[in-house]
Chains A and B, each alone.
Chain A
């Protein structure tokens, strides 16, 4: 495997759910690749962005189904892997940060126990080495007094700190791909930025691939290299983050213009007029 091969290679991805009223397609034929870059996925609730992220870890439970012409993590076809190998892959090579640390950390284990468990699930290391690495990673996510934090329970830390602990936990086994699903929407504005800067720095320093899922287009534009805009399970537009100002799809423009801006006040906010044709238009490919 050459190093410039994509970390994630996805072609014609479908996520479907069998329901009482027939088949529901949450993701409809996505194609994209992820290299050692920061890829943002933006869309409204129900656009299929989180389902796309979860499909990368094969985290869709029945009755949900994942179908794809190709779904490869660093050359490994994850649709064909046995569950045991999949467990090694999840967390080991590809990790996910969820939205709310309150629900993703185990409330009855200390931070230290959870961090060490996460690491030892993927590597054979002695407890004392694991502890050392946990301390070093907490330090990396800008947690002061990591010694003290190791002994705390999740309810004893703030939201921003909880999210940084989650990040530390996900990064301990040294994955190559990080899927961050709305990593900061449960946090305050002033903490949001700090957490994003930490994710950003770690991803750069370690040369990882980041899939950043968010409903906030401006935020994604600021933190990613490339953006994919999703609507009704398809990609309607893809562009470099720096070219967002030149985006042309009416949906993208609608998202951009519906946000109240502190510095440029308007009397009325623009309201998105949804065109049924957007739903039917074929998915744009975000392969590079």
Chain B
């Protein structure tokens, strides 16, 4: 069974003459346990797809199925215990006046987790923070540590699918490496499915097995990471994207 199935997804913003189609007729499917990457320039609609799946954008049409559950206009509680999202900016996604303990226990309470105390220790260990961080406030944490807390919060309800929206773009390269390694480890240990958005092909190539390239709201092509490395892209746009990414690091 596939973890995520999207058919003919359209997402739009505004009404009447102001209406813009942010996502145009996108169909894709992500297998259980797979790590799937979405790449494209800003404005290509890649984050919008994630947000539509997470239920953060009400204006969409098409068909979305997550782990066998067909999605409607609202999301069930069961949906959120299967799917969680990690956002781009760890500086903006944690409440500045809540401790790590409060952030994580709230997430667990909402999902009816029992023995919060024991699970808290596990969670912090899982993301490599340790119990010493439990009662800290966000301003007492570095960017990388904050992103670890955000990942712990997403894992609090033992989800099957993580939606990752540029999880490392606000971090330094050295910290980015730590977070990417953590994501690789967590996926292996917990058998997670990832859908990750990034504009950096190197990161997507590191973490994903299949990659979808988007342009102006539409899906240009889906290719495997090996094809991408061999630069065997079908569409000229993907080749252009690959070339600029490779040239910029030479």
Binding site for B on A (CB under 8 A): 44-45, 159, 188-193, 215-219, 222, 254-255, 258-263, 265-272
The 29 listed contacts between A and B (C-beta, < 8 Å) are A44-B173, A159-B42, A189-B241, A189-B244, A190-B240, A190-B244, A192-B244, A215-B173, A218-B249, A219-B249, A222-B249, A258-B173, A260-B180, A260-B200, A260-B202, A260-B203, A260-B206, A262-B201, A262-B202, A262-B229, A262-B249, A265-B205, A265-B206, A265-B229, A266-B206, A269-B180, A269-B181, A271-B181, A272-B177
Contact indicator B177/A270 (Cβ below 8 Å): yes
Contacts of A215 in B (CB 8 A): 172-173
- CB contact under 8 A between A269 and B177, given known A189-B241, A189-B248: yes
- Please tell me if the beta carbons of B244 and A193 are within 8 angstroms of each other in the complex: yes
Known: A260-B202, A260-B206. A189 touches B245 (CB 8 A): yes
Q: Is the interface of B mostly helix, strand, loop or mixed?
A: helix
Report the minimum CB–CB distance from A23 to chain B (whole Å). Answer: 21
A44 & B172 in contact (Cβ 8 Å cutoff): yes
- If A159-B42, A189-B201, A269-B181 touch, whether A263 touches B173 (CB-CB below 8 Å) is no
Could you tell me which B residues sit within 8 Å of A by CB distance? 41-42, 143, 172-178, 180-181, 184, 199-203, 205-206, 225, 228-229, 240-242, 244-250
Q: Is the CB of B41 within 8 A of A188?
A: yes
Contact B229 A258 (CB under 8 A): no
Identify 10 new A-B residue pairs, CB closer than 8 A, beyond the known A255-B173, A262-B205.
A189-B199, A192-B244, A192-B248, A193-B247, A255-B174, A258-B174, A261-B249, A263-B246, A269-B181, A269-B206
Report B-chain residues with C-beta under 8 Å of the C-beta of A222.
248-250
Residues in chain A near residue B225, CB distance under 8 A: 265
Chain B residues, CB < 8 A from A216: 173
The residue in A44, A159, A260, A266 that gathers the most chain B C-beta atoms within 10 A of its C-beta is: A260
Bound form: Cα–Cα A255–B181 in Å = 15
- Closest A residue, CB atoms, query B175: A44
How close is A161's CB to chain B, nearest CB, in angstroms?
13
CB contacts (< 8 Å) of A265 on chain B: these are: 205-206, 225, 229
**Are A258 and B41 in contact (CB-based, < 8 A)?**
no
Chain B residues in 8 Å Cβ range of A266: 206
